[in-house]
């Protein structure tokens, strides 16, 4: 297993055993997402402020080639970033900015838009968050798919991506005064995860706090007991330990850890309560953060975080002990365990 | 026939080729030849409207152009560069 690190300037691979670091992959390019095809090839979402975004594939994480027929809207919508890959059987989904989904049914060679989502009736009113207007997180169970779009909300499809419904009841809209009529869109989901054995049990790190759903997203309840703040970008579940992880930040306007205490927090009770995750954190004030794509789990106790100041933190025992790996990278936007 | 020079940053799309000979006497045909040989370049040089990307510069025989006139003549060289504004 390698820790794949996507940064503002290139991608890097860390062997967690030997600590050997290779890279940069794609020197000078932003590496924004990693994935794998059903046949086992690796995928990387790569982008540039000058030259746009594209998908590259590799059989070995060393030799990469650009996919010629990558996602494109073919209309006035620009594809500016690949945010996420997610596999459902033989199909690969790519979440992108401008927000939308594309799918490949031929191992990543060609990509088609998921029109039921991309052409939603509310589409013309979708607005970006600070990270852009992006489809950044997917989950699935059988024919049900969830996608998080900032700053629009969570959509769920119960028919394998044909039709989609907004699922944000219980979550306040972002940037709206209290008392205004509840809008249909404008919910700034930052991250999602669920329990594969109970797929309708969802957890959500939102712009407006930390939430849980027990009904597939139909309704959400706030779960922040023990957290120093509700804001943040991380939500991951290690399935072996059944632990949840978040990385709280002070607030929307001050996106750093409270008092500089950079730590992951974990929950052993489905989010009812939260405590600092284990030991190993830097005792010195550390004013950094973890972005939504910069967290990964293998489901077997390994969790990796990448920070905006270029550090990689890892636990191999589901959050009991944390270790910062060397070196320090450029600003990290994507982490994967491949 | 023109020589097309490409910036180092585009190596992932070109396999490291930074100089490409492209057939044609006008910019439209030179670009068509370039993209026929290196189709992966299209999304990097041109935006979703088909325009030269905002932070990409193009010089044809030493003159800066936004490639709005694809019929303009090319004598010897087309050079693409990233602008200082892009990141």
What one-character-per-residue DSSP string does A235-268 give? Answer: -EEETTTTEEEE-EES-SSS-S-GGG----EEES
Which residue ranges of chain B lie beneath pLDDT 70?
Answer: 86-87
* DSSP string for B2-55: EEEE--GGGHHHHTT--EEEE--SBHHHHHHHHHHH-GGGHHHHB-TTSSBPTT
For residues A46 and A83, what is the distance between their CA atoms, to the nearest angstrom? 9
CB within 8 Å of chain B, chain A residues 64-123: 64-66, 68, 70, 72-79
> Is residue A175 pLDDT above 90, yes or no?
no
On chain B, the residues whose CB falls within 8 A of the CB of A70 are 43
Q: What is the pLDDT of residues A265-314, one digit of tens each?
A: 999 999 999 999 999 999 999 999 999 999 999 999 999 999 999 999 99
| Chain A, nearest residue to B12 by Cα | A26
* C-beta atoms surrounding B80 within 10 Å: 23
Query: Does the distance separating the beta carbons of B48 and A51 come in below 8 Å?
Result: no
Chain A nearest CA to B34, separation (Å): 14
Average pLDDT over residues A33-51: 97
For residues A267 and A243, what is the distance between their CA atoms, to the nearest angstrom? 6
For residues A63 and A82, what is the distance between their CA atoms, to the nearest angstrom? 20
Chain B nearest CA to A136, separation (Å): 21
Does residue A223 contact residue A201 with C-beta atoms inside 8 Å?
no
pLDDT band for A177, please (50, 70, 90 cuts).
confident
**pLDDT at residue number A314:** 98
Q: What is the pLDDT of residues A63-86, one digit of tens each?
A: 999 999 999 999 999 999 999 999
> Does any CB of chain B come closer than 8 Å to the CB of residue A28?
yes
Which residue of B7, B10, B44, B48 is the best one to mutate when testing the A interface, meaning the one whose CB has the most A CBs within 10 A?
B48
DSSP A181: P
pLDDT, mean over chain B: 95
**pLDDT at residue number B87:** 64
0.80 exceeded by pTM: yes
Which residue of A51, A70, A78 is the best one to mutate when testing the B interface, meaning the one whose CB has the most B CBs within 10 A?
A51
Query: Does the distance separating the beta carbons of B43 and A52 come in below 8 Å?
Result: yes
Q: Write phi, then psi, for A154 (nearest 5 degrees).
A: -95, 130
Q: What share of chain A is helix, strand, coil (3-state, %, to 5)?
A: 5, 45, 50
Q: Write phi, then psi, for B39 (nearest 5 degrees).
A: -65, -25
On chain B, the residues whose CB falls within 8 A of the CB of A64 are 12
* DSSP string for A76-93: S----EEEEEEEETTEEE
DSSP A321: B
**pLDDT at residue number A69:** 94
Q: What is the pLDDT of residues A130-166, one digit of tens each?
A: 889 999 999 999 999 999 999 999 999 999 999 999 9
pLDDT, mean over chain A: 97
Q: What ipTM does this complex have?
A: 0.93
Rg, Å, chain B Cα set: 12
Average pLDDT over residues A121-137: 94
Contacts of A125 (CB under 8 A, 6+ apart): A185
Token pair of A66 as six digits: 């650009």
pLDDT band for A180, please (50, 70, 90 cuts).
confident
pLDDT above 90: percentage of residues in chain A = 97
> Does any CB of chain A come closer than 8 Å to the CB of residue B47?
yes
pLDDT band for A200, please (50, 70, 90 cuts).
very high
């Amino acid at each position: 297993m390698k820790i794949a690190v996507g940064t503002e300037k290139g991608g890097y691979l860390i062997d967690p055993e030997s600590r050997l670091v290779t890279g940069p992959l794609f020197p000078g390019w932003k590496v924004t997402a990693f994935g794998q095809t059903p046949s086992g090839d690796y995928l990387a979402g790569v982008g540039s402020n000058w030259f746009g975004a594209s998908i590259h594939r590799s059989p070995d994480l060393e030799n990469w080639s650009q996919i010629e027929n990558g996602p494109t809207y073919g209309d006035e919508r620009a594809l500016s970033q690949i945010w996420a890959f997610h596999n459902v059987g033989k199909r690969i989904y790519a979440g992108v900015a401008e927000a939308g989904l594309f799918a490949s049914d031929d191992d990543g060679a060609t990509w088609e838009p998921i029109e039921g989502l991309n052409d939603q009736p509310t589409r013309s009113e979708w607005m970006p968050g600070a990270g852009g207007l992006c489809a950044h997180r997917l989950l699935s169970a059988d024919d049900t798919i969830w996608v998080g779009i900032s700053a629009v909300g969570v959509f769920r499809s119960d028919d394998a991506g044909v039709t989609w419904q907004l699922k944000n009841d219980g979550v306040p809209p972002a940037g709206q005064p209290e008392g205004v009529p509840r809008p249909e869109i404008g919910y700034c989901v930052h991250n999602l995860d669920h329990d594969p054995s109970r797929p309708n049990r969802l957890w959500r790190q939102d712009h407006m706090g930390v939430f849980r759903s027990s009904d597939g997203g139909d309704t959400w309840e706030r779960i922040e007991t023990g957290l120093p703040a509700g804001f943040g970008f991380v939500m991951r579940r290690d399935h072996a330990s059944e632990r949840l992880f978040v990385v709280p930040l002070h607030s929307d306007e001050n996106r750093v850890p409270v008092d500089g205490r950079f730590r992951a927090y974990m929950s052993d009770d489905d989010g009812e309560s939260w405590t600092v995750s284990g030991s190993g954190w830097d005792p010195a004030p550390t004013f950094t953060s973890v972005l939504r794509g910069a967290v990964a789990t293998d489901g077997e106790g390994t969790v990796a975080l990448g920070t905006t100041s270029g550090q990689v933190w890892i636990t191999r025992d589901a959050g009991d002990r944390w270790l910062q790996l060397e070196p320090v990278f450029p600003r990290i936007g994507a982490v994967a365990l491949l | 026939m023109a020589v097309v020079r490409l910036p180092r940053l585009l190596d992932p799309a070109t396999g490291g080729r930074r100089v490409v000979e492209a057939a044609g006497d006008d910019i439209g045909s030179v670009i068509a030849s370039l993209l026929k040989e290196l189709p992966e370049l299209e999304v990097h040089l041109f935006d979703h409207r088909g325009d030269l990307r905002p932070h990409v510069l193009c010089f044809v025989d030493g003159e800066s152009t936004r490639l709005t006139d694809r019929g303009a003549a090319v004598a010897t060289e087309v050079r693409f560069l990233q602008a200082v504004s892009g990141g």
